[in-house]
């Protein structure tokens, strides 16, 4: 079951249908009018600008997976640690993947933490002082919080107890966790304290987040639930919900809904799921993430039938959409904005000699 969920999450990433659109071209961009929306497609070359956004250049890095931004020049990545012994993985003998800090200008690396097991799903706390992450082999994962300054790590879940997708920072010191196996929702902090907030009778598949005194999560059947912190007043908020991504100020959601058998739609909604803006429709929409100032949303679409789609940025105020790249059309993780909102990282899974590996593109904006 977990493998099916993981495959669905990694294998679906982006697409926007442009049928029935009027098109006009300029020397360095195409403006597509669709219904009441205007999509500006920027060619994949340096120095292209529009009134809405400016694409300076795209940097590519092989064999690294970006987890988060530490600063404008430094990213947190995971890659093979060849100083550690190999272990038996599903694909064969492999080096464990550990965390490094990577300077995108100098290409210098600094080992953050090492383990004989894979370290994955690292997420920095808002103040960048701690990393919540998973450690283990395949689906047998354990949650930890790592202090970046001291290197000390605290185990915050039972051993081999969590799926590979759950765990989000609530503030600088605490993480909300949900368990696929037993439906428990837990709050863990940097001192190792753990408090159970509630328990779902159904297996929690994702989207677990805390906003104020409410907890949101989805279960099988794409059903979005909300409940109080004490586990009471649980109610079904909406159905057909694929993703919810809270805005930085936690006043609204970017929400991807399953709106037809082969169609997903990206909305901005209030916390009750009321539609505020309809941004995009596609067969798949993935990697959605807010810019730090919540003025924009970055996401990827894919249309398998005609191999179209790409990387888009939508203005969260006007609804205008800019396509930054037609070449980047999948992502293994949510897109990540740099602290200034001037850079976006995209990590994709590619195949080389029939073996999967990660490759990263950094889009630098003017």
**How far is it, in rounded angstroms, from Cα 362 to Cα 336?**
9
CATH topology of domain 2-365: Methylamine Dehydrogenase; Chain H (2.130.10)
Q: What is the pLDDT of residues 11-68, one digit of tens each?
A: 333 322 222 222 333 334 444 444 444 444 444 433 333 345 778 899 999 888 999 9
Task: For residue 47, give both structure tokens.
Answer: 């120095």
Task: Give 96's pLDDT tier (boundaries 50, 70, 90).
Answer: very high
Assess whether pLDDT exceeds 80 at residue 204.
yes
CA neighbours within 13 Å on the CB side: how many for 298?
Answer: 29
Measure CA of the first residue to CA of the last residue in the chain; give whole Å: 44
Domain range list for the chain: 2-365
**How far is it, in rounded angstroms, from Cα 352 to Cα 75?**
24
**How far is it, in rounded angstroms, from Cα 150 to Cα 210?**
28
Higher confidence at residue 15 or residue 286?
286
- Report, as an integer, the average pLDDT of 97-121: 94
Asked if residue 322 lies in contact with residue 39, where contact means CB atoms within 8 angstroms, the answer is yes
Task: For residue 346, give both structure tokens.
Answer: 């995209």
* Predicted pLDDT of residue 52: 59
Task: Show the CA angle centred on residue 16, arms to residues 6 and 244, nearest 5°.
Answer: 50
Q: By C-alpha distance, which of 238, 222, 321, 312 is closest to 278?
A: 321
Q: By C-alpha distance, which of 256, 329, 328, 319 is closest to 14?
A: 329
* Predicted pLDDT of residue 164: 54
Q: What is the pTM of this model?
A: 0.82
Assess whether pLDDT exceeds 50 at residue 188.
yes
Q: What is the pLDDT of residues 146-155, one digit of tens each?
A: 999 999 999 9
Q: What is the largest CA-CA distance in the chain?
A: 58
What is the distance of C-alpha 180 from the center of its chain?
19
Q: By C-alpha distance, which of 273, 272, 274, 268 is closest to 295?
A: 268
Residue 3 sits at φ, ψ, to 5 deg, of -65, -35
Task: Give 356's pLDDT tier (boundaries 50, 70, 90).
Answer: confident
In this structure, the number of other CB atoms found within 10 A of the CB of residue 245 comes to 19
Fill in the DSSP letter of residue 8: H
Asked if residue 124 lies in contact with residue 130, where contact means CB atoms within 8 angstroms, the answer is yes
Q: By C-alpha distance, which of 332, 279, 282, 309 is closest to 78?
A: 332
Q: CB under 8 Å to 21, separation ≥6 — which residues?
A: 32, 33, 34, 39
User: In whole angstroms, how far apart are CA 88 and each of 4, 41, 94, 139, 163?
Assistant: 22, 45, 6, 14, 20
């Amino acid at each position: 079951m977990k493998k099916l969920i993981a495959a669905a999450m990694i294998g679906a990433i982006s697409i926007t249908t442009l049928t029935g659109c009027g098109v006009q071209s300029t020397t360095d961009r195409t403006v597509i009018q669709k219904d009441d929306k205007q999509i500006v497609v920027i060619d994949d070359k340096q120095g292209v600008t529009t009134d809405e956004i400016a694409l300076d250049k795209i940097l590519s890095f092989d064999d690294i997976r970006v987890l988060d931004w530490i600063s404008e020049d430094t990213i947190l990545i995971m890659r093979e640690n060849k100083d550690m012994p190999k272990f038996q993985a599903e694909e064969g003998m492999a080096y464990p993947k550990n965390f490094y800090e990577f300077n995108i200008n100098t290409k210098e690396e600094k080992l953050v933490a090492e383990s004989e097991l894979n370290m994955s799903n690292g997420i920095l706390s808002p103040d960048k002082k701690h990393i919540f992450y998973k450690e283990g082999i395949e689906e047998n994962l354990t949650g930890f919080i790592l202090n970046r300054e001291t290197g000390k790590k605290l185990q915050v879940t039972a051993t081999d107890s969590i799926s590979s997708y759950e765990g989000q920072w609530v503030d600088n010191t605490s993480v909300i966790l949900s368990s696929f196996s037993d439906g428990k929702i837990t709050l863990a902090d940097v001192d190792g304290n753990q408090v159970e907030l509630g328990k779902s009778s159904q297996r929690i598949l994702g989207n677990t987040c805390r906003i104020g005194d409410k907890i949101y999560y989805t279960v099988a059947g794409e059903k979005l639930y909300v409940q109080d912190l004490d586990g009471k007043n649980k109610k079904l908020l909406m159905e057909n919900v694929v993703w919810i991504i809270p805005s930085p100020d936690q006043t609204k959601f970017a929400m991807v809904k399953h709106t037809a058998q082969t169609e997903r739609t990206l909305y901005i909604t209030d916390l009750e799921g009321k539609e505020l803006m309809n941004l995009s429709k596609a067969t798949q929409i993935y990697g959605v993430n807010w810019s730090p100032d919540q003025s924009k949303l970055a996401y990827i679409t894919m249309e398998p039938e005609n191999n179209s789609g790409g990387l888009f940025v939508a203005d969260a105020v006007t609804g205008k959409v800019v396509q930054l790249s037609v070449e980047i059309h999948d992502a293994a993780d949510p897109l990540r904005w740099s602290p200034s909102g001037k850079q976006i990282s995209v990590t994709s899974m590619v195949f080389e000699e029939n073996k999967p590996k990660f490759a990263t593109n950094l889009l630098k904006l003017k």
